[in-house]
Structure 1
Amino acid sequence: MGKTKMDKRGRVLIPSKERKRLHLKPGVEFELVDTKGVLLLKPIIPKPIRVRSKKEVWDKETFLDAGEATFGE
C-alpha cells in the first residue's frame, strides 16, 4: 500500500495503482467507518437491478424494454 495526504479542503487522493487494483471508477461512493481511530473507506457497490419479462420470445424489443425499465428512457 502507498501513502497519501489530505489537502486543505479535506480531500484525500487514492493512488492510481490502488484504484486500478480495486477497480474503482470516478464517482464511486464510499461509506466512512471509524474503528478505534482508524478511518476505513468502504466502497458502496450498488445492487444489480433484476428485470423480469413474461415474454417467451426474446427479441430486440424485449431487450429495449428491459433497458428502458432499468436505465430509463
Structure 2
Amino acid sequence: MSESDDSADEEYGTARLNHRGRLTIPKALRDDLNLEDGTEFRVVREGGDIRLVRELPDLETVTRGEEWGAEAFRDAGEATFGGR
C-alpha cells in the first residue's frame, strides 16, 4: 500500500483558502499526523487536484566513537524510555 493510500477514505472536513492564499489544515488531521508549526510540504499538482507531501527531515548517521548531541533522542519518546 502506498503512502497516499493509507487513509484515502478518511475525511476531516473542509478548508477554505483565505485572501492571502493561506489554507488551514483541520486540527483533527494536524493532531492525527502530529503536524507542528513549521512542518514543510511539497505542493504537487495532479491534473486539477493539489496534493501536499510532508517533507521529512534528513536522518543523521552517528557512528561508533562520535559523541552524540543533546538532540540525538529528541523524538524517542515514552515508548523508548518509559517516561523518564
* TM-score, length-scaled by structure 1: 0.72
TM-superposed CA distance for 1:34, in Å, is 0.3
Which of 26, 30, 50 does residue 39 from structure 1 map onto? 50
Q: Deviations over 1:34-71 (max 9, x none)?
A: 001100011101122111123xxxxxxx6xx3207x7x
Candidates 39, 50, 53, aligned match of 1:28: 39
Give deviations 1:17-45, integer Å, cap 9, x for gaps.
Answer: 01011111110000000001100011101
Structure 1 segments unaligned to the other structure (5+ residues): 55-61
Secondary structure of 1:14's aligned partner: coil
Q: 1 or 2, which has the higher helix percentage?
A: 1
Q: Report the counterpart of residue 3 of structure 2 in structure 1.
A: none
| 1:12 alignment partner in structure 2 | 23
% identity of equivalent residues: 30
Instruction: Say which of 58, 62, 68 aligns to 1:66.
Output: 68
* RMSD after superposition: 1.7
Higher relative contact order (CA 8 A, sep 6+): 1
Instruction: State which structure, 1 or 2, has the greater radius of gyration over its C-alpha atoms.
Output: 1
Aligned length: 60
Look up the equivalent residue of 1:53 and give its one-letter code.
R
